[in-house]
Amino acid sequence: MTRKQQQTFSFYRKIRISLGLMGILPFLLVIYLFLTEKITLSNSMIISSALILFSILIGFSLLRQSADQLSMLARETTTFEKTDIIQPVQLNIDGELKDIATNFNTLAERLTRANHDIQEQNIQLLRYADDLASSYDKLKKEEQLRAHLSRYIGNDLVDQIMQSSDNLLQKNQRKVITVMFADIRSFTAISEQMEPEDVVAMLNEYFSIMVEIVFKHNGMLDKFVGDQLMAVFGHMSGETQGVKDGLQAALEMQEATDQLMRKRAKKQQPIFQVGIGINTGSAIIGNVGSENRMDYTVIGDTVNAGARFEKLAQGGEIIIGEQTFIQRPRSIKMNKRLRLKVRNRSMPVVCYMVDRKECMVTLQQPEKITNRFPKGLFDASPEEVPAGC
């Protein structure tokens, strides 16, 4: 049924038809009876008929007025279908229709407030959505940074960096650090006798243990260079603590290497030893590299000297620089003190060998020390360790 057909049988039209029938049918009946001579006109009948007609007309007029008001109310209350804003109804009506209009206005006011609240909530939800999106992006970046950092430092340092607002690993700065180099002795000769898969498996097993020890002592893994491992200490904890962490890590690394070799020997697998060099001093720490490839690393003479100490150390030995020796914990004893003239340096370099077996100073014969240094790398003039070092 179309809207036009619905209007044809509207309540308003039904009232008008009903009123019309109520007013016409009685008079048609009277006329019919009069024409058929079943009733006769008299003065009383004429007066009564006039009064009845007047009453019907008055009632018809009142009912039609109410019907008109009802029709206007219907038109006014349908306007909100065409707009999002519901306007209150302003009609001069009375009775129950006025109550209907009042209730409609109250409902319209509540709907308007509800619509306003919904719009505000939509705006708030959009803000929340933006905040959530920003938080998600931030968390994603933090997770990526955490995953990146965990490749170089332990979880405790990762948490410390993530909670810090200083972006410690983003700055390029000069700082006193302790650098460590650990290298497998005779690695080339050992690897030539092994299958490539076995070499990789051996290195992965070894490096996994070494990196765990570095992280345990607040160290930062700088890089792997073949079978060599480079780590940095004190980049966050401070100069003295960095020395302590580096030395303790080196001692544990040598002990862990000995345990690993005993395990490999039982399996009849190739074994090796590790030489470690440690040096403490000022270095530049920061992002170094090209536009496409950057590494967070340390550079400087301190690093170069630490690498030279590592080349000097034989399997199972730990050789440290003078600043590392000065700031070391007193429980860590030395068994050699060397005063070395290094190529391309005017001043001699002093280094020490950590005594892993005994916590006491032992004197070494100069010729025993001099013979084991690579020719051309150092010109060694060993000196005895003063008592109490």
Does 168 have pLDDT greater than 90?
Answer: no
CATH 3.30.70.1230 fits 172-380, yes or no: yes
Does 3 have pLDDT greater than 60?
Answer: no
User: What is residue 333's predicted lDDT score, i.e. its pLDDT?
Assistant: 87
375 vs 370: CA distance, rounded Å: 10
The tens digit of pLDDT for each residue in 287-310 reads 887 777 777 789 999 999 999 899
State mean pLDDT over 171-180.
89
Say which amino acid occupies 32: Y
User: What is residue 130's predicted lDDT score, i.e. its pLDDT?
Assistant: 85
Q: Which of these ranges, 142-151, 325-334, 359-368, has the smallest mean pLDDT?
A: 359-368
Does 69 have pLDDT greater than 50?
Answer: yes
Stronger pLDDT, 200 or 77, i.e. the higher one: 200
Q: What are phi and psi of 308, to 5 degrees?
A: -70, -40
Q: What percent of the chain has pLDDT over 90?
A: 31
How many CA atoms does the CB half-sphere of 229 hold within 13 Å?
25
User: What is residue 30's predicted lDDT score, i.e. its pLDDT?
Assistant: 66
Grade residue 254 by pLDDT with cuts at 50, 70 and 90: very high
Residue 337 contacts residue 352 (beta carbons within 8 Å): yes
Mean residue pLDDT of the chain comes to 76
In the chain, domain spans: 3-77, 172-380
Does 59 have pLDDT greater than 90?
Answer: no
Stronger pLDDT, 33 or 212, i.e. the higher one: 212
Burial of 318 (0-12, 13-18, 19+ CB in 10 A): buried
- The structure tokens 């058929």 sit at 36
User: What is residue 323's predicted lDDT score, i.e. its pLDDT?
Assistant: 93
- The structure tokens 């349908």 sit at 78
Max mean pLDDT range (27-31, 154-158, 318-322, 385-389): 318-322
State mean pLDDT over 44-69.
67
Stronger pLDDT, 367 or 71, i.e. the higher one: 71
Does 174 have pLDDT greater than 80?
Answer: yes
Residue 178, token pair as written in the block: 């302790």
Grade residue 250 by pLDDT with cuts at 50, 70 and 90: very high
Q: Are strands 318-321 and 274-289 parallel, antiparallel or unpaired?
A: parallel
State mean pLDDT over 82-86.
61
60 vs 26: CA distance, rounded Å: 14
Stronger pLDDT, 205 or 287, i.e. the higher one: 205
246 vs 213: CA distance, rounded Å: 10
State mean pLDDT over 67-94.
65
209 vs 255: CA distance, rounded Å: 11
User: What is residue 48's predicted lDDT score, i.e. its pLDDT?
Assistant: 65
44 vs 361: CA distance, rounded Å: 151
Q: Which residues does residue 225 pair with via DSSP β-bridges, in sequence order?
A: 228
Q: What are phi and psi of 320, to 5 degrees?
A: -125, 160
Does 66 have pLDDT greater than 60?
Answer: yes
Say which amino acid occupies 11: F
Residue 139 contacts residue 196 (beta carbons within 8 Å): no
Stronger pLDDT, 192 or 293, i.e. the higher one: 192
44 vs 199: CA distance, rounded Å: 134
User: What is residue 363's predicted lDDT score, i.e. its pLDDT?
Assistant: 30
Stronger pLDDT, 319 or 13, i.e. the higher one: 319
Q: Which of these ranges, 72-86, 138-152, 288-302, has the smallest mean pLDDT?
A: 72-86
Grade residue 109 by pLDDT with cuts at 50, 70 and 90: confident
User: What is residue 104's predicted lDDT score, i.e. its pLDDT?
Assistant: 74
Grade residue 251 by pLDDT with cuts at 50, 70 and 90: very high
Stronger pLDDT, 118 or 44, i.e. the higher one: 118
* pTM over the 0.85 mark: no
